[in-house]
Chain A
Amino acid sequence: MTGKFSKYLKNKKPILKQLIAQLAEKYAYVSVLATDVTGVNIQVDRSTTVVQPTSITESGFVIKVFNGVIYSEYSVNEIEEKSLPTIIKTIDSLVSQKSTVPHVKVQKLQEEPLTQSFIRKNKGKVPSTEQIITTLKTYVNEAIAYSPLIINAHAGIETTEISKMFLSNVKDLEQYYTWSNPRSYVFARRDSNTKYAYDGFGINSVEKGLASLQASMTKSAKLAIELLDSTTPKPGIYDIITDPSITGLIAHEAFGHGVEMDMFVRNRSQAQSYMNQRVASPLVTMHDGADATFSVASYFFDDDGVLARDTKIIDKGILISGISDALSALQLGTVPTGNGRRESYKRKAYSRMTNTFFESGSSKLENMIKSIEYGYLISTTNNGMEDPKNWGIQCTAQFGREIINGEFTGKIISPVVMSGYVIDLLNSISAVSKDFKVIGSGSCGKGYKEWVRVSDGGPCLKAKVKIG
């Protein structure tokens, strides 16, 4: 890790300003997003070691122009002074494309002048690649030695440093920040019964992340062995307690996608017609924002050059706000919330979640568990899918622990696929614990594409849900 803003982008700034000045002579709005993201993924298991760039490694530029009719973007990964005429020609050609389909009526983006640099460095030491490999190998060996039932263990850490620059006629923004994602994955087998368990978390310290991974490996090894005795659940409607990971999954899939305001523009969200109405139990208050908590999606400004915010989406059960990118906010006549995010400079910006969570409540977890007559404590996110227009929900957890008459029975189910109607689920929340944890190790797609890093979490919830 360099610990500082990209020298490459810094060197490109004068050329980019030159490009903006030249394009501004003919276009009403011009901006450039420049990215330089370096990520390294180191993974070790019992037989092999892999060192490779992470999937979010990228370096390039998005030039955005508005000609009074349509917004057009050119994504390119090489800009030099001598190539400016060619780039301008490409943009002119793009803008002049004829369409038989009519255009959306849209205005020029309005921006407040702002020049600012932001920096957030990795905390603590950055171990060398050799030190990381050696440590991971030790963890793998420890996990394998934990039980003869363990057949393989994977330990890995992704380290990422992100430099982004947003330039327009009135904005000059730079940000540099770092993040690390340690992950564990353990396979266990008894006879021909194979099960796996995983764990992951986010942290802004390679050193601490690597140290904490040891406990994560042990946790995964124990769980993988436990899961050898798991059964698939009997389909039914159950009282459940969610751990913070599943709370976050529900916040994200059940409601988060539905308040991404590019969905409002497309008439794709039912939430739009529920603004200022009750959508959840009064115990529910939900936030999203790069500035709402500190986790993997805590940037300083978004890919539209809008500063990070904390948006309260649901306040005591009442839907009060959505989250938006700049172009969607422009079309809706609202203020952008700093949620314009791109998978990479090669893709469009959409309204996307960042750090999404429910606020903690006042209940004690042990009392919530005691209140369950027959149900499960559901843990560890696997995946989920949104249905913003029709409020269907599908959330899959790694496992659930059976509770009968307020006590854990020792029985475990896996996997746990929860489904139902969003409003029914959110209104069924009858207790919210004092705990609070955000898990910063996730990725989120929009539909089946446009992957960005996100976190989610919150307290433990008591709710009623369909498991099947």
Chain B
Amino acid sequence: MIKKIVKSLQANPQVTDWLVNETQTTSNQAFYVLQKLETIRTVTTSEYSVTVYHRFNENENEYLGASSFVISHKLSTKALVKMIEEAVFAASFIKNKAYNLVTGIKKQSWKEKTLTVEPYAMIDKIATVFFNESKANIRFNALEVFLSQTTNHIVNSRGVDLKKTLNKINVEAIPSYDGQKHNVELYKYYTYKALDFEVIKADAIDALKDVTARYDAEPIKDIHQLDVILSDKDAGEFFDNLISDFSYVGIYKQNTDKKIGDSVQKDVKGDLLTIGYGVASKADTFDRDGVIVKPVKVIENGILLNYYGGNQYAQYLGMNPTGIMDMVAVPKGKTTIEKMRKKPHLEIIALSGIQIDIYSGYIGGEVRLALYFDGGDYHPVSGFSFSGNIDACLSNIILSKEMVSRTAYQGPKYIKLPAMELL
């Protein structure tokens, strides 16, 4: 199919450049209800995203218009030619400042090791690991397991020909505790790059431990301000938000007035931050435009060091593209979690969803489960919210020595934010 698409693109003289992204996906899925198998699914798809470019001059300015469409099934040549004509016609009205497509040097491909076990046998084993940790009233009322393999193949008119095959294991688990006092649950979502049953078992045990704590949790009373410890995904989201505006797109569109060399943290009494982007897999080597990705430090020791991002906006700013990456990378801190936990604090286990508004400086969220340490004892607490100011957080933030490595975040497992308001 890809050859047919390329042939039709090359035959249209109005198409100055083109990019074809072929995505082949195989996914095996199982859905469990009250620890019994309800539905199984398999997915096999091949789709093609086609972008046509039209370069033109007007009033001594050079423009590059682009328009995309998706092909989900076989098309006649006539139908394909028509879609290309419509797309290039649309591109001819799009007056984006001209830039060059990524140039390819050689054909390359990367592939993660294929999972050798039969997919449904593996799904069955994963589900069994979760269910084996359950008790009659503390169990997983819902569990969904997805094993996926995706191959992206990118070719463009400038010689890019890159292919990567990545595996992903996703588990949505709902640990639940049915007791005499009440029934409670938590929401857990895991993404694994590789199959490690010890890691999965540890997650299952932690999930059941957490929901047991939620069962015992009480509202927090008469405490209006505490240091808050965030971990894992919430810490990753916090760091991601801090650097999101420093992309080439954000800078070009003036979403921020910060410039390279500017300080991101003021009056620092805690840790200086170094935050960047990388990739979770060695095979995840290029982005949607065919840029070979390069891990980048965006902030170093509290100072904006680099912008980052894809091909088009990098060229608009006269910089080199880093490629678009989705794993936030932060070096480890200097403080152990034991030390962080010494003074009274609130350690967040589950939020409804962390709320961060970088422009108003707001950070907060509704707490579904946290452990409150009063200086002597721990108390599971629930049903309240916390909030604070991001600038104040950045002045006093403490990062843990302990690290976590997940697909979207590699960095300190715990971060401590000072003096947050509780309600």
Contact = CB atoms under 8 A, between A and B. Distances in A.
A468 B176 contact: no
Contacts of A151: 254
B355 interface: yes
A151 B255 CA distance: 8
A59 B120 contact: no
Interface in A391-428: 392-394, 396, 414-415, 417, 419, 421
Interface in B64-107: 65-70, 72-74, 89-91, 93-97
A189 B389 CA distance: 19
Contacts of B128: 100-101
B124 A192 contact: no
Given A266-B34, A396-B355, A468 B127 contact: no
Nearest to A391: B383
B44 interface: yes
A21 interface: no
Contacts of A130: 90, 93
A378 to B, nearest CB: 15
A415 B362 contact: yes
Contact of A101 (B37, B72, B183): B37
Contact of A189 (B172, B183, B257, B361): B257
Contacts, number: 233
Contacts of A99: 30, 37, 120, 124
Interface in A213-262: 230, 232, 235-236
A51 B124 contact: no
A74 interface: yes
Contacts of A126: none
Interface string B219-246: 0000000000000000000000000000
Interface in A96-130: 97-104, 106, 129-130
Nearest to A448: B189
Nearest to A91: B42
Interface string B353-392: 1010101111011101000000000000011111101000
Contacts of B355: 383, 394, 396, 415, 417
A268 B184 CA distance: 9
A78 B73 CA distance: 6
Nearest to B1: A78
A26 interface: no
A387 B178 CA distance: 16
Interface stretch (A65-73, A160-168, A204-212, A359-367): A65-73
Interface residues of A, number: 79
B423 interface: yes
A402 to B, nearest CB: 16
A51 B41 contact: no
Nearest to B362: A232
Given A75-B41, A103-B36, A417-B387, A58 B72 contact: yes
Given A130-B93, A232-B389, A268-B141, A71 B38 contact: yes
Contacts of B45: 60, 75-77, 346
B39 A327 contact: yes
Contact of A194 (B29, B72, B255): B255
Interface stretch (A42-50, A280-288, A368-376, A434-442): A42-50
Interface string B122-149: 0010011001000000000110000000
Contacts of A385: 352-353, 366
Nearest to B69: A53
A363 to B, nearest CB: 28
A348 B29 contact: yes
A449 B72 CA distance: 22
Main SS at interface, chain A: mixed
Interface string B178-191: 10000111010100
Interface string A450-468: 0000000000000000101
Contact of A417 (B32, B43, B364, B368): B364
Contacts of B385: 235, 394, 417, 419, 466, 468
Contacts of B384: 419
A267 interface: yes
Contacts of A57: 70
Nearest to B224: A235
Contacts of A49: 65, 93-96
Contact of A60 (B68, B72, B189, B362): B72
B39 A267 contact: no
B43 A75 contact: yes
Most chain B CB inside 10 Å of its own CB: which residue of A152, A265, A389: A389
A236 B254 CA distance: 35
Contacts of B94: 49, 51, 133
Contacts of B93: 49, 129-130, 133-134
Contacts of A194: 255-257, 359
Contacts of B40: 70, 72-73, 94, 97
Contacts of B68: 51-53
Given A235-B387, A415-B357, A348 B39 contact: yes
Contacts of A90: 42, 44
A331 B187 CA distance: 23
Nearest to A396: B355
B73 A51 contact: no
Given A75-B44, A235-B421, A235-B423, A267 B368 contact: no
A286 B233 CA distance: 35
A221 B40 CA distance: 49
B282 interface: no
A224 to B, nearest CB: 10
B184 A389 contact: yes
A366 B326 CA distance: 48
A327 B31 CA distance: 12
Contacts of A152: 253-255
B72 to A, nearest CB: 4
Interface in B165-185: 172, 174, 176, 178, 183-185
A196 interface: yes
A75 B42 contact: yes
A59 B73 CA distance: 8
Contacts of A333: none
A148 interface: no
Contact of B253 (A47, A53, A235): A47
Nearest to B89: A129
The 10 residue pairs across chains A and B that have the minimum distance between CB atoms: A59-B72, A394-B352, A468-B423, A419-B366, A394-B366, A385-B352, A235-B423, A97-B120, A75-B43, A468-B385
Given A103-B38, A129-B93, 17 more contacts: A45-B253, A47-B252, A51-B67, A70-B38, A97-B120, A101-B36, A103-B37, A106-B38, A189-B257, A194-B257, A232-B360, A268-B142, A331-B33, A348-B29, A385-B366, A394-B353, A468-B386
6 contacts: A47-B316, A52-B67, A59-B73, A99-B120, A101-B37, A103-B36
Interface of A: 8, 45-53, 57-60, 70-78, 80, 90, 94, 97-104, 106, 129-130, 133-134, 151-152, 187, 189, 192, 194-196, 230, 232, 235-236, 265-268, 270, 327, 331, 346, 348, 383, 385, 387, 389-390, 392-394, 396, 414-415, 417, 419, 421, 447-449, 466, 468
